[in-house]
Amino acid sequence: MTRTVAVSSEKGGVGKTTTASNLAAAWGVLGHRVLAVDFDPQFALTRAFGVAPSHASATVYELLSQDGVEPDDAVVKEVAPGVDLLPARRELRRLEIGLVSEVRREEFLAQALDELRSQYDIVVVDSPPNLGLLTVNVLCAADEVLVPVSMVDSGALQGAAELRASVAGLAKRRFDVRVRALVKTLADPRRVMYQAIEEPLAGLGVPVARTEIPLRADFNNAVAAGVPLVLSRPDGRGGLAYRRLAEELFAGRPALQAVA
């Protein structure tokens, strides 16, 4: 059965797209067939895999705009080993405005993905850094939600709490989605801010992943290069952390040994 994993946070700058791209790449390396879906008008996930929206034959915008685009026509194949990409472009903002007047407007993405899911083991969806209608579509399309929490920004804690409340609200409306885990990103336990965030994070009442993603400049370099760090520096601390997180989310797999 295909798993659909949303990576979402109300707060920007928490490592949301970095988490989505590196987990997708890590699961691909582990032998899973993965579809990475960019549902953010800033199309950061598209760029993270080195794809320019202008070079794609179609994007998720055309797919959901009902322009006669078939789902397979909008997918960019093999952007990384085992990973296909459904890219985005800026015009996705127009779609959010147009959805307001639609019936069942929160389910457009889920319906579009229904025709693609059977081809993949895992679908990873990157959402905008807000709780607007595009993000609600992402949450309604997902089975589980990963929430990155920046350990250098106290505002990320509030963002995680708000997203947890939104998921709980959808669950009450009988959408089958849950917060799988909070993921500590930009983590450096030596920092005062890390220590200030860690204790209240546990008090949110949702699981916190054991694997922490370290604060590393390598992630910025990987974004500029258009190659997830899991692939460009697989034995570095950042790449290994995401590989461990990918394995942790598939319980029962052996843990990797840390490499400096």
Residue 73 corresponds to which amino acid?
D
Determine the pLDDT at residue 101. Answer: 62
For the domain made up of 3-248, give the CATH fold.
Rossmann fold (3.40.50)
Q: Report which of 36, 56, 33 is spatially closest to residue 45, judged by C-alpha positions.
A: 36
Whole-number pLDDT of residue 84: 98
pLDDT in the model for residue 259: 34
Question: Among all chains, which residue has been given the structure tokens 């997203």?
Answer: 163
Write the pLDDT tens digit of every residue in 195-226.
999 988 888 888 999 999 999 988 888 888 89
What stretches in the chain show pLDDT beneath 50?
Answer: 252-260
Going from N- to C-terminal start, the domains of the chain cover 3-248
Average pLDDT value over all residues in the chain: 89
Spacing of C-alpha 166 from chain mean position = 17
Please choose, from the candidates 166, 116, 174, the residue with its C-alpha nearest in 3D space to the C-alpha of residue 145.
166
Strand partners, 3: 122
* Phi, psi torsion values for 87, nearest 5 degrees: -80, 170
pTM exceeds 0.85: yes
